[in-house]
Structure 1
């Protein structure tokens, strides 16, 4: 960690969304609460919804249900990494004053952040960490047989290191820029950014605080995402 005390004066949250009209209002409601919890300590906030190749009114819903000041960026890239990158680029070019004092966070449009989501990230940021990867949790398993849940738990235990999930990730803007920004990858862009930040020598932290509730739907938006992993686990021989 950095030995120098840090002050965070700006927070930008980026959410890529591709045909997420069904779940987006709940995601926005959760973000409104989480951003409100840090509004006194950090009143300069920006939420950017990147509506990527949408045909279901996602952009209009974001404009109606987002907190005051929500910015909707419409793109047609069909790529979650490129969409996240576009959101962060928009914030950095048009709004961020000092990258060392700005915190960038991201989650997914099919996920619900807890009320203390940003509080937990900013607590670690103020302690000197330049990037924070938090946990995700699934609470609704109705689309899958019980074996899939058990296999996912075993899969996670077998991993040599905790994962970095785009549904629960944050970093200083300075670290983001040093790492070259969000890689425009169709899958695993979150892990690629995480490894790039770590490669700069800036301190990174896997946190167990503030798990984000994410969807266990069968048909995901990104190739190689959680839905594909769950399908592969379901297809394993008994």
Structure 2
């Protein structure tokens, strides 16, 4: 069974696109014979995120932690209890490609670290910011980017290193570091890139949005 874990904090605007893309990826994997369960971890949501998730027919788990590491960890724990053999992680403001899950599984690795790309920049984000971002990003095989928006982990490897730690930032980086330390097989690929939001008011401080904001300040 493949478990998809999506943490969300007041993501009503982004969730429909995220879950619409995930539905296509799940159908592709199910057509290949896999069982797929999608879980949205609602972390202190006060908007319509829960209703949107349920309208898409996906399960929800409510937590009150305002901590992405704790939210991912809680979601993973629930799915592992249900027998998940592969954990696929993305973010509520991101859209995965239709072959996302199949691509992860095809590598037969302990973990798959994928890339992200900005599908549509905001009107206020000028060419200078875009050029600076593209010049620094490694959109290639063998890159060393780690994104919670595009990550897959074998359940056994995940459990071997203790899973996501309850960190407010870089819980994905910590997990991959732990896997590397124990000699896990990790694939770094750009073939299943996930479209993500370029918003500069991210839900998790210090993440991708804040990185873009720092580039905008330099460009400005």
- Shift in Å, 1:43: 3.4
Query: Do residues 96 (structure 1) and 83 (structure 2) align?
Result: yes
Query: Do residues 121 (structure 1) and 92 (structure 2) align?
Result: no
Structure 2 CA distance, aligned partners of 1:24 and 1:237? 30
State whether residues 103 and 171 of structure 1, in contact with CA within 8 Å, keep that contact through their aligned partners in structure 2.
Answer: yes
- Shift in Å, 1:116: 0.6
Instruction: Tell me what 2:37 maps to.
Output: 46
State whether residues 103 and 173 of structure 1, in contact with CA within 8 Å, keep that contact through their aligned partners in structure 2.
Answer: yes
Instruction: Tell me what 2:7 maps to.
Output: 16
Change (3 A) 1:119 1:235: same
Equivalence map 1:165-176=2 (5 Å): 165-176=147-158
Aligned counterpart for 2:136 among listed residues 145, 151, 155:
155
State whether residues 11 and 42 of structure 1, in contact with CA within 8 Å, keep that contact through their aligned partners in structure 2.
Answer: no
Query: Do residues 81 (structure 1) and 69 (structure 2) align?
Result: yes
- Shift in Å, 1:145: 1.9
- Shift in Å, 1:230: 1.0
Relative to the length of structure 2, the TM-score reads 0.93
Query: Runs ≥4 in structure 1, deviation > 6 angstroms?
Result: none
- Shift in Å, 1:154: 2.8
Instruction: Tell me what 2:198 maps to.
Output: 216
Instruction: Tell me what 2:116 maps to.
Output: 136
Per-residue Cα deviation, 1:141-194 (whole angstroms, up to 9, x for no partner) = 12412211111123335xx95211001000100010011101111111111111
Structure 2 CA distance, aligned partners of 1:116 and 1:204? 19
Number of paired residues? 216
Query: Does the residue aligned with 1:152 lie in a helix, a strand or coil?
Result: helix
* Structure 1 segments unaligned to the other structure (5+ residues): 1-9
State whether residues 26 and 112 of structure 1, in contact with CA within 8 Å, keep that contact through their aligned partners in structure 2.
Answer: yes
Change (3 A) 1:154 1:216: same
Structure 2 CA distance, aligned partners of 1:199 and 1:40? 36
Query: Does the residue aligned with 1:235 lie in a helix, a strand or coil?
Result: helix
* Structure 2 segments unaligned to the other structure (5+ residues): none
